[in-house]
A and B are shown apart, each in its own frame.
Chain A
Amino acid sequence: MDREEGCLLEIDDLSKTFKGLHAVENYHLRLSPGEILGIIGPNGAGKSTVFNLLTGHLRPTRGSIRFRGQDITRLPPDRIAALGIGRTFQNIRLFASMTVLENVVSARQLKERSGIIATLLSWPSFHRTEQRLASEATENLGLFGLADRAGKAATSLPYGDQRRLEIVRALALGPTLLLLDEPTAGMNNQESMFVLDLIRRIRDQYKLTIILVEHNMPLVMQLCERIQVLNYGQIIAEGTPEQVRADPKVVESYLGRAMEDSKDAEARNG
């Protein structure tokens, strides 16, 4: 496989087998900086598995992953995160014993923290660092309209806010590449649209590259410049939203009559 210059992420021949079952097979990707890529496909198609392979939570059976030219195929998740790949999860994974602010700080502190001596001796530098972490985290929260909730227990937030908080937290890591796993799952359309807007904003503001796994078609279609469609662990289609939408394989295996249904509904409502 050739290596391309200026590529942020290069994945070749990535495969993962669970007990003989091919969860992901021969997955490949070239991602340029600043791109928003969508991955769609039916449940069990291997979308989350790709994320988990990419972030080191699973070890691939075969293949290679290079991030900014560095081979990260077999690195543990914390090392990969430290290199600049942040992610959110399909099911919310906030730190339940912490406040909203602490959740964000716990990500920010990867880049900046006091040493153990300064901590134990409670040196002024320790308190300065803590204060800076807190104010930066508050700033991050402000972007998502969560600043006023900073002192609340993270798990006491309404569902939608929890999802947003997870994104803030992943952002606080200061990633180059952000992986969002169904960021709008369980949200109503208003909330979804808010998130859509946000993803665009953070992409521009933080110069991020984003990969998005979503079932919310309208969101994916509006947001992504490029879409990969997975089925049974394999890429069955790739291209612009229009290309993908028009691909008969995609319609058959995934979109099904949903589009027609929605047309029906529109017709009825209209």
Chain B
Amino acid sequence: MKTRLAIVLVAAAALILVGCGGKGGGNTIKIGMLFNMTGAQASLDAPSANGANLAAKEINAAGGVLGKQIKLVSFDGKSDAATIGTAATQLAQTEKVVAMFGFSDSDMVMAAAPTAAKAGIVFVTSGATSPKLPDQVPDYLYLACFGDNVQAAAGAEYAINSLKAKTVYLLIDKGMEYTLLLGKYFKERFVEQGGTVVLEDNYQTGDKDFSAQITKLKGQKAKPDMLYIAAGPDDVGTIVKQFRDAGVKSPIMGGDGYDTPLLVQVAGKGAENVYFTTHSLMDPKLGTDAVKKFIAAYQAEFKVPPENAFAGLGYDTVKLLADSIKRAGSADPKAIRKALQATKDLPGVTGAITYQEGSRIPQKGVTVILVKDGTFTLAQEVVPQKVPQP
């Protein structure tokens, strides 16, 4: 019994030591980074973390910000809200970071951002695209990416105007806020423009077999002009592959979840005639110079091409924060927030970022990509005419 008690006491003491062991940095600026490196969310977040680390490395190699090196202080969120909340508290209180960023999922953002706000520092989410997020954490929560309403509207307008689609089959992943919103906003804008939804079906994140959905679609009398499938990056390839294998040839459209090499790798020829809306054309040959540079640097650093769109978003988020600090002229959180809000036309690999007065969702153009001969090609740059209310 006594030894047990002793173990507990020693453990507690060690905890306090480690917990309070934050080193005050004279010559570094500490930015808190929160991603889920393990657990169910890891496949979305890990590329973002890579991108962010790459950006920090580049910034530091170029002399840092305000003459200081940037240090990304990072915890694993473990895809668990309680852990994330604790980690955010550590970042704010123990590590005394000047800003925080991370996460690709609004749940996870919401577990961390209020803590940051309470401590008076901004939280920039690199990949959570819910346009409702900023309302939920006033003043301190920023998106580095466009809202889902924007890209869904862009997709719907492109479908009606360029693809001349009048009827659509809608398949939505019911397990993610991202896909739910995407589907909802697309439907809203598509119907608004006179289109019809012939059949709406759904699946759960991680489902591997879509034969029942496919059979149901094929049992439909009226064949839809196109398919809109709201899916996350881990599922898109599989879904497209299985629909194509079953002989569904109509155009398939989706959101930035499709922006992953897995789409072509998994679906192969099936990926032809797939359209999706995303931040920019991430192609080592056809992309902008910034994109080409990013892809090359990423490949060099991590020995793989960027896994999905989130890699670029993580990269841009760090660049965005660094830029704000530079413009603020100090690492004071208040000044950083002010500078961040004033960001205008900051170029990034996922498009230029501008925050309008009073809005914490950036204005970004939407890129529509078409998969052709196994590569992503630019179909159109769209600025939607009307965006559904968040």
The short answer to whether A and B are in direct contact, CB under 8 Å, is: no
Binding site for A on B (CB under 8 A): none
Binding site for B on A (CB under 8 A): none
